Amino acid sequence: MTDSVSLRALKKGQKAVIAAIQADGEMGRRIRDMGLVPGVEIEVVGRAPLRDPVALRLLGFTLTLRNNEADFILVTPA
């Protein structure tokens, strides 16, 4: 767990494995409902023209979330 970083820090094209979700309540539930749970491999596939939100690839689909939502997600870069 020592080398895990916030999802926000990932660059485009970078892959990582989710280490932990640090959100509860509505935010946490939404994130988990979309398949973002520890152990899942993700890849940053793009960023919006204003660098926020970010687009991720996981489990064969594309997901987008805001940078301040990405802060709740800790990942271990591959």
Partner 1 sequence: MAADKFIAIAGNPNSGKTTAFNWYTGARQHVGNYPGITVEQKKGTANLDGRNVQLVDLPGTYSLTAYSLEEVVARRVLAEEKPGAVIDVINAAVLERNLYLTVQMLEMGVPVVLALNMMDEAEAQGMKIDVKRLKELMGLTAVPTVARSGQGLQEVLAAAVALSDSSSECRPLEISYGPDIDEALKTMSAEAESANFLTGKYPARWVALKYLEDDEEVMKQGRTVSESVHNSLNATAGKLAAHLKSTLNTYPEAIIADYRYGYISSILRQGVLKEKDDTRNRIAYSDKIDKVLTNTFLGPLILALVLYGMYHVTISIGEYPLGWVEEAFDWLKDVVGDTMQDGLLKSMLTAGIIAGVGGVLTFVPLIMLMFLLISILEDSGYMARVAYMLDRVFRFFGLHGASIMPFIISGGIAGGCAVPGVMATRTLRSPRERLATMLTAPFMACGAKMPVFLLFVTIFFEDNKALIMSGLTIFGWVSALLVARLLRSTVIKGPSTPFVMELPPYRMPTISGVLIHTWERTWQYIKKAGTIILAISILLWAAMAFPELPEEVQETFTSRTAPLEEQLSAFPYKELADERKSLEEELEGVGEGKPEAAAIQARLDAVNEKLEKLPAGKLEAEIEELEGQLEELPEDPVADELRIRIAKLETAMVRLPAGSAGAKALEEQLEAAQTEFRKTPAGSLGVIIAEKREALDALPEKQLEARIAEIENEQAGKALRQSYAGRIGSFLEPITAPAGFDWRTNIALVGGIAAKEVVISTLGTAYALGEIDEDNEATLAERIRADKNWTTANAVALLLFTLLYSPCFVTLVVIKQESGKWRWLFFSLFFNLLLAYGVAVAANQLILRL
Given the rule CB under 8 A, which residues bind partner 1?
Answer: 21, 24, 26-35, 37-38, 40, 45-46, 48-53, 55, 57, 59-66, 69
DSSP 7: G
Q: How far is the CB of 5 from partner 1 (least distance, A)?
A: 18
Residues 19 and 26: beta-carbon distance below 8 Å: no
| CB-nearer residue toward partner 1: 5 or 34 | 34
Which one, of 7, 16, 14, lies nearest residue 53 by Cα? 7
| Closest distance of CB 15 from partner 1, Å | 10
